[in-house]
Amino acid sequence: MSTPNFEQLGAVQKIGADALLTLIRSTCNGVERLTALNVAATRDFLSGVVTNTQQVLAIKDASEFPRVNVNLLQPVLEKYMNYVRDVYEVTTAIQQDVTAIAEGQYEQISRNATATLDKSTPAPGKDVVAATVKTLLDTSSRFFDQINSFSQQANAIAEANLKAVSATTQAATAATRKSVKK
C-alpha cells in the first residue's frame, strides 16, 4: 500500500478551489449584470407607462386614438427587443465564461492523468489500466467537444431567431403605421 502524497493532494485541491472561485466570480458578475439590466428595464418601463398614460389622457378626439396607440407601440416594442437582445448577450457571455473554465479544468485534469499514468511504476496490469484511462479520457474529450459544438449551434439558432423576430416586429409595426395613416 502506498502512502498518500499530501503535496499533490493539496495542489489538486488548490486547483479545484481556484477554478470554483473563478466560476463563482464569473457567475456573480453575470447575475450582477442581469440585475442591473432588469432594474434599468423596470425603471424605463415605469417611466414609459407614465408618459404613455399622459399621452392617452391628452387625446381630445376618439379618432386620434389609433394614431397615438401606434406611436406608443413602436418604442415599447423596440425597448423590448433591445432588452431581449441584452439578456441574450449577458447569458451568452456567462455561458462562454463557464465553458472556458470547464474546458481549462478538463484539460488540466487530462494532462495530469496522462502524466501520472506515464510516470507510474510498472505493475502487473498497468498497461490495461493505462489504456482504459486513456480511452476514457479520449472519449470524454470527444463528448465534451460535441457538447460544446451543440452549445455553439444552439447559440447560433437563438441569435438567428432573435434577428428574425426583430425584423418581423419592425415590419409589423411599419405596416400598422401605414394602415393608420391612411
Beta carbons of 173 and 72 less than 8 angstroms apart:
no
**Average pLDDT in the 123-143 region?**
74
Name the residue ranges covered by the structural domains of the chain. Answer: 7-181
Sign of the alpha-carbon torsion through 146, 147, 152, 153: positive
Backbone dihedral angles phi then psi of residue 93, each to the nearest 5 degrees: -65, -40
**Average pLDDT in the 93-97 region?**
87
**Average pLDDT in the 28-47 region?**
93
**Average pLDDT in the 57-66 region?**
86
Predicted confidence band at 126 (pLDDT cuts at 50, 70, 90)? low
Q: What is the pTM of this model?
A: 0.67
